[in-house]
Amino acid sequence: MPEHSPAAADGIAWATGRGIGALAEKMGFEWLEFTPERAVARMPVEGNTQPVGLFHGGAYVVLGESLGSMHANFHAGPGRLAVGVDINATHTRSATSGHVTGVCTPLHLGRSLTVHEIVVSDDEGRRCSTVRITNHIKTVQ
């Protein structure tokens, strides 16, 4: 894991300071945990549904991409930027109320590529979606 500044020692403080982006903010993204081993956040179902009242499949992807990209950038360290190059999601259940929670764990943390899996569950702990994201790490000039 790359060295980070003392301000980054608290992962949620680092993530909050970096910002999650306007889309995730509009969708009610909320950090719960952020460590070198995993990142956890949640979103409300209300306001993020399809016309029939199910949590929108694209909202699962927003949660997954936000978690995976932030964790990849934390791993990349100062002077480097992680950018998404591939994402996929398999939805296995529909959330209709409460919140969904994403738990992001790294599958591979390399020098130039990261791969993360994000398991999104409903308030009862039932898996609703599995998202996998690959990020390319590049040097920022």
The residue among 113, 108, 115, 106 whose CA lies nearest residue 138 is 113
Q: Which of 37, 65, 117, 124 is catalytic?
A: 65
CA angle 3, 66, 101 (to 5 degrees): 110
The yes-or-no answer on residue 124 being catalytic is: no
Angle, helices 11-18 vs 57-76, to 10°: value is 110
Q: Which residues are catalytic?
A: 65
